[in-house]
Amino acid sequence: MSSSTELTEKKVFLLKSLDGVIFEVEESVAVQLEVIRELIEGDCARPFISLYNVTSEILALVIEYCKHHAETCSGGTSATIADEDLKTFDNEFMNVDENILLELCSAADYLDIKSLFELTCRTLASLIKDRTIIEVRKMFNVENDFSVVEEKAVRKEFAWAFK
Amino acid sequence: MKIKIKLIRTAEQATSAQVVASIDLLTEILLRFPIKSLIRFKLVSKDWHYFITNPKFCHLRNPNPNPALGLLLPFPNFRISPLFEYVPFSVQNPTNPPLRKLKFTKDSSRISILKSCNGLLLCSSLRALNHNLKYYVYNPTTKRFTTLPKPDQGTGIRKKICASRSQLMPISKKGCIGMVRCTGLVMGPLSLYFVIDEERLETLPMPPIPDGWEGRSNYYIGESCGHLNFIETFGPQIQFDVYEMKRDYSEWFVKYQVDLSPLVSAFPGMIRSYLNPTNWYYYALSIFCLIQGERYGDSFLVLQIPGKAIRYNLVHKTFEKLHDFEGAEVEDSLRFSWTNGFQHIESLCCV
């Protein structure tokens, strides 16, 4: 980044994942994690900020996402090019295993990163929307507690949705 | 209600981390599903069924814009054969008819649709005498309905207005009932709108009447995705302007200009050649509705010509046949000459 030549030392923060891995991130990345933003801006950040709900595997991805977004937004390119670039990046970034996606979604929720949360929710929704009921039960580990008669009644009532 | 839904990794994954998603997280994902999927996923489990049917969830889902998917047209002989023909708005991905017949209540007299608004249908009994007339609001997506209080019970109606403020607005004035989205209401030739929040009527300005004409003519007025549109033809016109109302209700502006000459060339059967070209009925043509697309280029008119429904793109000025009406057609007649049809919009709105 262009600011690396500045004389003032750039602030870095240390984020500690659930499994104890420490990540060094710049302020522009850290402030995107709304959950710790206040802590950072209030200048009362401790040596390590522990993120208890996020594993290192997921945190690495989250940091990659925030870093790319921070760089693109401050890169001085025009808004439309930046937008296009972010779209391409987001699409590729979402090209991961479904369980990773769920964990990313959960992490984005916990860390309060709105854009990543929206992105993961949307991606998950479009992944799941056309699945069969059995597949959805399996994915969310839900047991079928409908009787045959009850299931038939629902299918009959909303026949158009099951065509 | 607090359900913990466990998202467990499959055994083959080494880390086998367990993600426990809160109901809030699941809600956020479900809110982004199409309504058809949501209805289907009611069968995942009883918890899911309860959750998707829950008014709180339905209310959250509602603000997400739901485009109109098709048009319900009451059969011309509706009093004898109370059926609806369905015209899906897409040729490539046609949607299933939401209903063929209205039979949600055991009301002995038959029921007809008066208005469609954001996925809800305002219906009334068809044959009952005035004092027995019942009004219903029916959601064909969720198959739920409510019976409205009688129009003369002013306070009752008012309560209903308040209860459903964000969904639809049934209002009653001197026996006429209309439904609108939050902003206003146009009552036919009166050109009034009702400011729901302040409960007062205001006059709606109207486009100018051309020289040589004395009053309002043959017009279409309709709402789509929060836009109010107005089309008026004076005489047998196939070139006309499409007006749109400004958000503040101050004036109409010309949004599109339409020239249907290419349509007439493609379907010469529209011309009643035995009539004088200045005759009002020279063209067998009517406007069913105007649908605002999600993007600018998607807005289209649904037109009726003999035996067919046509989709006319207002921006690209292209057209395609949407639908052939059921059964044989008398050569140059319009089967649905007295109705604009009722838009079908999927909605989870609780009634």
Q: A118 vs chain B: nearest CA distance in angstroms?
A: 9
Q: Residue B143: its chain A contacts at CB < 8 A? A: 157-158
8 Å CB contact of A133 and B29: no
Q: What is the CATH number of domain A8-130?
A: 3.30.710.10
Residue of B350, B351, B346 whose CA lies nearest to B65: B346
Give the best residue of A99, A109, A128, A143 to mutate against chain B (max B CB count within 10 A). A99
pTM, 2 dp: 0.72
Q: Taking all residues of chain A, what is their mean pLDDT, rounded to a whole number?
A: 86
Q: Is B152 on the interface with A (CB under 8 A)?
A: no
8 Å CB contact of A102 and B21: yes
| pLDDT tens figures, B110-168 | 888 988 988 899 998 877 666 777 889 999 999 999 988 776 544 444 444 433 433 33
Q: Residue B19: its chain A contacts at CB < 8 A? A: 99, 102-103, 106
| pLDDT tens figures, A37-64 | 877 777 665 667 888 889 999 999 999 9
Percent of chain B residues topping a pLDDT of 70:
79
pLDDT of residue B22: 66
8 Å CB contact of A121 and B29: yes
pLDDT band at A27 (very low <50, low <70, confident <90, very high): confident
Beta strands in chain A (DSSP E): 12-16, 22-26, 48-50
Q: DSSP string of A15-29?
A: EE-TTS-EEEEEHHH
Q: Residue B94: its chain A contacts at CB < 8 A? A: none
pLDDT band at B70 (very low <50, low <70, confident <90, very high): very high
How far apart (Å, rounded) are the C-alpha atoms in residues B89 and B299?
A: 11
Task: With a cut of 60, say whether residue A8 has pLDDT above it.
Answer: no
pLDDT of residue B328: 65
Consecutive H or E run containing A78: none
Least CA distance to B5: which residue of chain A? A140
Q: For A9, which DSSP code? A: P
Interface confidence: ipTM more than 0.85: no
Q: What mean pLDDT comes out for the span B59-73? A: 81
8 Å CB contact of B19 and A130: no
Domain ranges of chain A: 8-130, 133-163
User: In 3-state terms, what secondary structure has residue A6?
Assistant: coil
Q: A149 vs chain B: nearest CA distance in angstroms?
A: 12
| pLDDT tens figures, A69-78 | 988 877 667 7
Least CA distance to B7: which residue of chain A? A140
